[in-house]
A and B are shown apart, each in its own frame.
Chain A
């Protein structure tokens, strides 16, 4: 089993900020828009370094999405920044018509996704955004797992032509992927090879999957772990390769099981290799106030929940 080391807890949103700061220096076409959450999105450095290329739009997300679409006409590469809730549900029609259908090269960067937003509660904790975004034709959907990967993904977006939804979060979490690594959109990363069960995880649940993998090994279960940072397009080949060996799947995500990563994996399995699957996800519910750890525990979104699901799915084979 490979050993992964947490080099020190960091928030994924700071990875976005660092990536954007670097892009500001290396790509003059990159512009950034923010709806009154510059500090929360860690966009301060970009704003300070490039005031002409930073657009403070105020609490007006619909206008922000339209402006971002317009900025592409003239060759700019706009990165919008606000919370995941206000990046998707609030502006769905603007994204649908002015960005996705119009084929505009806009990068929708969304922080504070999921229940780990914490104490602000359900009004801000969107658990439906992956579904909303993956249903849009032409939209690429990415959910990164740690600081390093979020930074690498942000940088990679500038070289990808087309609309992208990049989802990350608020809390400080384990930082374990390589520093200054390359990020390939749509290419899954196999973190552990296993023979009994394949754990397919995205976002904050990837580290939890690695922790679960250790516990499962102690129980005599060999678990493979795949980091699916890109939910659309989904790396079907990587999933099927592992499943051909293990014969069962646990998907893990900080999102509703309706419309999330799990359902996308189910489709791949149904079409190619139907095997048992268990879902570590929220079960058609809103979140609530609490600390991130409390919420991940209450809603069954941690290593313990993955271990439980893995044990169950192995028994179903």
Chain B
């Protein structure tokens, strides 16, 4: 049984990492990062069956793909604090010659990254390919992916969603970060997504909804449910209802902090709301 308090403390530290990374270089995407902090912590600390170290092929372990690569601050923080690379390296986020590029990439050899992402809409396809490779290799482990809700406006997703159902890719769990926000405003005002659950179901996916997508306990329960639905002929979609900017009051419930860094004063406020737990990098 997971220690929820411990995981929550982990999340608090990840929030600090996110705002500090973005503040230092005055660029990056804090809003979506904060919204997915609980999910990624739960995933890497509890859900994924991972092996020690990093191997690109991910043989005999669960693997994860981040499709919405702009939430790299949370990904980097969780990867570092899960042992993939030194936590101090978070200091190099978005700097020249860094392995921590603005958007995640394999190009600089950062452990934990298996595909470049940032140009949206490509992650589900890649995850399906990796899931197919696992089946060919008789590897019973699962493939996970996370994409944004605005990202579903990219047509490639629907090619992949159609393929996944049609070809019974049932070793795949795709989470969608339903925060209802994108750069230009709410998803409803930019390009309404309509009934996302209904759309996935109509394509032939099994859908699990996690209404409290910023609650560790709810995430763990939802992902456990999702896991029990694998291996039954359908890919699984997890609709993760999150609040963009969660955990930093002035960043919450708005698209304003999608891709904007806090100033010194705002950083101080964000950090005050999230006291150090595991030690700053």
Whether B128 contacts A67 by the Cβ 8 Å rule is yes
Q: Which A residues are CB-close (under 8 A) to B123?
A: 66
Q: Which A residues are CB-close (under 8 A) to B165?
A: none
Interface assignment of B215: CB less than 8 Å from any CB of chain A: no
A: interface residue count bin: 20 to 34
Q: Which A residues are CB-close (under 8 A) to B163?
A: 57-58, 60, 63, 67
* Chain A residue with the shortest CB-CB distance to B123: A66
Q: Which candidate, A98-106, A163-171, A279-287, is the interface stretch facing chain B?
A: A98-106
Q: Which candidate, B37-45, B51-59, B196-204, B225-233, is the interface stretch facing chain A?
A: B51-59
Whether B159 contacts A63 by the Cβ 8 Å rule is yes
Q: A59 to nearest B CB, angstroms?
A: 9
In chain A, positions 72-99 with a C-beta closer than 8 Å to chain B are 72-76, 78, 93-94, 96-98
**A74-B58 contact, Cβ under 8 Å, with A62-B155, A66-B122:** yes
Query: B60-84 toward A: CB 8 Å interface, digit per residue (1/0)?
Result: 0001010000000000000000000
Q: Which A residues are CB-close (under 8 A) to B126?
A: 66-67, 69-70, 73, 98
Interface assignment of B107: CB less than 8 Å from any CB of chain A: yes
Interface assignment of A53: CB less than 8 Å from any CB of chain B: yes
In chain B, positions 109-162 with a C-beta closer than 8 Å to chain A are 114-119, 121-134, 136-137, 139, 155-156, 159-160, 162
Query: A227-268 toward B: CB 8 Å interface, digit per residue (1/0)?
Result: 000000000000000000000000000000000000000000
Interface assignment of B105: CB less than 8 Å from any CB of chain A: yes
* Chain A residue with the shortest CB-CB distance to B133: A74
Interface assignment of B27: CB less than 8 Å from any CB of chain A: no
* Chain A residue with the shortest CB-CB distance to B135: A52
Interface assignment of A41: CB less than 8 Å from any CB of chain B: no
Q: Which of A53, A62, A70, A78 has the most CB of B within 10 A?
A: A70
7 A–B pairs (Cβ distance < 8 Å), ordered by A? A69-B126, A70-B127, A94-B122, A97-B116, A97-B122, A102-B105, A102-B115
Measured CB to CB, the residues of B under 8 A from A are 56-59, 63, 65, 105-107, 114-119, 121-134, 136-137, 139, 155-156, 159-160, 162-163, 166-167
